[in-house]
Amino acid sequence: MAEETLLKSFSLGQRLAGAIVLGLIAWPLGTELDRSLAVGNDPQLSVIILVSFVLIGLVATPYLTKLAAKIIISSSQNVASSKILASTIGLISGLVVAILISVPLSRLTDWPGVWFPIILTLLFAIIGGAIAVNREEDLLSLFPRLQNSSTSGGKSNSKMALDTSAIIDGRIANISHTGFVPGEFIIPTFILDELRHIADSSDSVRRNRGRRGLEMLNKLRKDSGTPVQVLEVDRWEGQEVNAKLVLLAKSLHAPIVTTDFNLNRVAEIQDVHVLNVNELANALKSVVLPGEEMELSVIQEGKESGQGVGFLDDGTMVVVEGGRRLLGTTVDVSVTRVLQTAAGRLVFAHPIAS
């Protein structure tokens, strides 16, 4: 309730500010029009212009400010923070120079005293910003601390864009809960829309996957040690979800977290770094060396004659030569060789004679 009241007050403040600013612009404009049209002392035209501008300010200001904020945020996502800092310094420097030059020029009579300072202000602001961006490194070298923070920020981006497949998979939530994932997860709104569409699917398998994804997302936001930011993205209309995600990750200079093999390849072609959860899972599997002995439960038959199959705690398949006769028992085996395949590791072993 308090939050709603605060938002209403803020919106009302925006409207009043817009009405006042436009009113201040409208009054001299109406007065100048009265004078140029030789209306005389009749202030009717000035009042009409003033009231019109005030009404426009009251109605349109919240929408205009929201639109401007969207444009600024959308544009700044593709710009490095060092460039924003450099352009700001250049803009301020240009404005200071323009003010110093405009003070004597403002004393000129008639229109040159009005328009020359305005033109010079705009011109020097643009020139100052352009020069500062062009000489960004030289400018930041004057501020060693800012340069160090900018350099360190450019080397590693703490943001990671989450794909639908990684959310549904759920392992990233467990990994994040351990504290091994630094930085921040970025979930664009089109990924949320895709999850919602999957959860509303008429196919029961897709529906269950979508609901699991929403549950994992809720778990990620509540229990994870990694912050989660939902990013509103309204660009790249007409592109499919994977293409949008690649473009977003490229603009943010952030890696994509996924389990989708095809997305992995497409992103790599476009020079976007990918963090594949399956590759992480394979890398974290326990190391098994030839000659190592272990205890294994043989739970099923192998493909070849006489083979038995068991599994390690991390899911690695172990093929036991001559293990078919030991089906349903727990035996000591010795590792003979380890094969690395596209699907993961495959371990071969033989029973140790008792």
159-282 CATH pick, 3.50.50.60, 3.40.640.10, 3.40.50.1010, 2.130.10.10: 3.40.50.1010
Residue range 169-196, pLDDT digits in tens: 988 888 888 888 888 899 999 999 999 9
**Residue in the structure block whose two tokens are 């529906």:** 207
- pLDDT per position as a tens digit, 74-117: 666 656 667 777 788 888 888 888 888 888 877 777 777 777 88
Give CATH 2.40.50.110 domain extents, the chain.
293-351
Q: Can you tell me which residue has the tokens 């371990």?
A: 347
Structure tokens at 102: 């405009």
Q: How confident is the model at residue 42 (pLDDT cuts 50, 70, 90)?
A: low
What is the CATH code of the structural domain delimited by 293-351? Answer: 2.40.50.110
Amino acid at site 319 = V
Q: Between the CA of residue 90 and those of 83, 96, 134, 135, 343, what are the distances in Å?
A: 10, 10, 10, 10, 55
- Is the confidence at residue 275, as pLDDT, over 80? yes
Domain with CATH 3.40.50.1010 in the chain: 159-282
Predicted pLDDT at 103: 80
Query: H-type helices in 135-260, by residue range?
Result: 136-140, 144-155, 164-169, 171-177, 189-199, 204-223, 241-252
Residue 210 to residue 200: CA distance in whole angstroms: 8
Quick one: pLDDT at residue 37? Answer: 64
Q: What is the pTM of this model?
A: 0.52
pLDDT at 135: 76
What tokens does 307 get? 């083979």
pLDDT at 282 over 50: yes
pLDDT at 270 over 80: yes
Q: 3: pLDDT confidence band, cut at 50, 70 and 90?
A: very low
Q: Is the pLDDT of residue 151 over 50?
A: no
